[in-house]
Amino acid sequence: MCLNIIVLIMALYKIENNIQKYAWGSVTSIPELLGIPNPDKEPMAELWMGAHPKSPSLIVSGGVKTPLNDFIASDPDRVLGQQTSRRFAGRFPFLFKVLAAGSPLSIQAHPSIEQAVAGFARENADGIELDAFNRNYKDDNHKPEIICALTDYSAMRGFREPAEIARNFRKLGAGVLEVVSDNLYNSSPENSETVLREFFSVLMNLNRGDMAEIIEKAIDHSCGRWSERGNGLETEAFWIRRLAKLYPGDIGIISPLFLNIINLKEGQAMYLPAGELHAYLEGLGIELMANSDNVLRGGLTSKHIDLPELLSTLKFTSGAPEVLEAVRITDYESGYLTPAPEFFLSKIEITGGEYKPPTGANEPGLPAIMICTSGTVEFADEDGNQLSIGRGESVFAEYGSRMKISGDGVLFRASVPGA
C-alpha cells in the first residue's frame, strides 16, 4: 500500500554525514548502504547523524553547507521548537548512527548523567586534553542508547545469572576463581549484586600469569569439547575462538562465559541504560543515543581502560536481557519504547496505496532526523516544494508546519519524545 504521511515540519534539509573509520568497522556494510566505493577496503564503523561537536552533520541548503550544531545554535527555539529547546538548554538532544560491526567492539558501559557531569568537570580541572589517550569523559552527558538490527546482529549484554556463571567457570576449571565461583553458585537474590561485583573485580585484577592460564584454558576448551554439537557451550566457544584471534591475551576473551549473548533478528532492538556492561559483536544496525561520546571500557580494546572508574559505573544486576519488538503506532509507523527522555526511534514503511491522517493530526517527536534504508521517498510541503531521498540518504526536519511523505521505501526516524 502506497502512503502519504503528514508530519509536522517547517523546513526539511538534506544532510551530509561523516563516517567514523574505526578498526572494528565493516568494509562493506556502510559503503553498500550509501552506494559509495571502498577500493582500499577501509573499515567503516559508524555513520554519525546529528549535532555532536566532534563530528556534526552538515545542513545542505542553497549550495551552502552549515554544521548542524551551528545551525541549531543560530535559533534553537525555531529549529528545535520552544519546548525541546528549553528542555535541553538549546542543544540537540540525541545522536543518530548507522553502526556496522565487522568485528567485536570493546566491552564497555556508559555513565549516568551525574557521573558524566562530575567526571567531565574533574578531567577538565585536571587539565586532561579532550583527545588524550587517558581521557574518560568527552562531554558532560550520559549515553543511554538503543540498537535496532538491520541484519542479524550479535552482542553481549549484562551479567548472566550468578549460578550460571559459576557453572561455566566450573566447567572451565579456573582454580584461581574457585572461591568467587562458589560464592556465585551459593548466592541468594539478596546478595547477588554483591557477589557479582566481587567476581568481576577479582577477574579484572588477576595477575598476568593467572589471567593467561584462564585464557589458555578457555581457548583449549573452545577448540575442543565445548565446540561439539550438544555440548551446551557451542555459541560461547565460537565467540571465545573469535575473540582470541582478534584480541590475544585480553581477559575479555572469556566474557562470553559471564555475559549474556544476544542475537537480534532484523527489526528487533535492545535498549541500554547507564551502567550496563555490553559489547556489540557483529552486524549492521541503527543506533540512537543521547548526544554523548562517553565510553568506559573494560576489555577487547587497545584504548584506555580505567577499571576503578568502570567499576564505579557498573550495575551488577543479572538475568536475560529484554529484546524489544516494534510497537505499531499507526498503519505506517512502528516505534521502540524506552524510558529515554532524549530520543524516540521509529520505522516508517511506505509500500503502496495512500494514507491521509485526520486534519489537525499532531505528531510529537519533531525535530527529527530520518534516514532512508531502502527504496525512495519524497517529501512535499504545503507550497508544493519537494525533496526526494534514496537509500542511504538522510534529512533533518525542523520543528514546524505540515509536510507529506510519499513513495516506496523505508525510513528510520529519530525524534524527541513529547516535543
Give the pLDDT of residue 360: 33
Q: What is the mean pLDDT of residues 324-348?
A: 92
Which of the residue ranges 96-105, 151-160, 224-233, 264-273 would you say has the lowest mean pLDDT? 224-233
Per residue in 90-128, pLDDT (tens digit) is 999 999 999 999 999 999 999 999 999 999 999 999 999
Among 364, 355, 362, 351, residue whose Cα is nearest residue 408: 351
Q: What is the mean pLDDT of residues 243-261?
A: 97
Confidence of residue 61 (pLDDT cuts 50, 70, 90): confident
- Please confirm, yes or no, whether 297 is among the known catalytic residues: yes
Mean pLDDT of the chain: 90
> Same fold for the domain at 5-9+326-415 and the one at 15-156+264-313?
yes
15-156+264-313 belongs to which homologous superfamily?
A: Jelly Rolls (2.60.120.10)
> The C-alpha cell of 272 is what?
541500554
- The pTM of this model reads 0.91
Give the pLDDT of residue 419: 45
Give the pLDDT of residue 229: 81
Q: What percent of the chain has pLDDT over 70?
A: 93
Give the pLDDT of residue 350: 84
Domain spans in the chain, listed from the N-terminal domain onward: 5-9+326-415, 15-156+264-313, 162-247
pLDDT at residue 252 above 60?
yes
Give the pLDDT of residue 339: 94
We find that the CATH architecture of domain 5-9+326-415 is Sandwich (2.60)
Per residue in 41-53, pLDDT (tens digit) is 999 999 999 999 8
Give the three-class secondary structure for 18: strand
Q: What is the mean pLDDT of residues 146-170?
A: 96
Give the pLDDT of residue 418: 65
pLDDT at residue 264 above 60?
yes
Q: What is the mean pLDDT of residues 282-297?
A: 95
**Cβ partners under 8 Å of residue 8, min gap 6:** 362, 363, 366, 399, 400, 401, 402
pLDDT at residue 83 above 80?
yes
Confidence of residue 333 (pLDDT cuts 50, 70, 90): confident
> Which residue is catalytic, options 91, 135, 160, 297?
297
In the block, residue with C-alpha cell 526511534 = 345
Give the three-class secondary structure for 300: coil
Which residue type occupies 281? L
Per-residue buried b or exposed e for 38-77, using 16+ beta carbons within 10 Å of the residue's own CB? beeeebbbbbbbbbbeebbbbbeeeeeebebbebbeeebe
Among 385, 376, 374, 370, residue whose Cα is nearest residue 407: 376
pLDDT at residue 258 above 60?
yes
Q: What is the mean pLDDT of residues 281-292?
A: 96
Confidence of residue 80 (pLDDT cuts 50, 70, 90): very high
What are the Cα distances from residue 44, in Å, to 103, 135, 268, 297?
A: 11, 24, 23, 21
Give the pLDDT of residue 363: 46
Is 43 within 8 Å of 28 (Cβ atoms)? Answer: no
Q: What is the mean pLDDT of residues 323-344?
A: 92
Per-residue buried b or exposed e for 233-268, using 16+ beta carbons within 10 Å of the residue's own CB? beebbbbbbbbbeebeebbbbbbbbbbbbbebeeeb
Q: What percent of the chain has pLDDT over 90?
A: 76
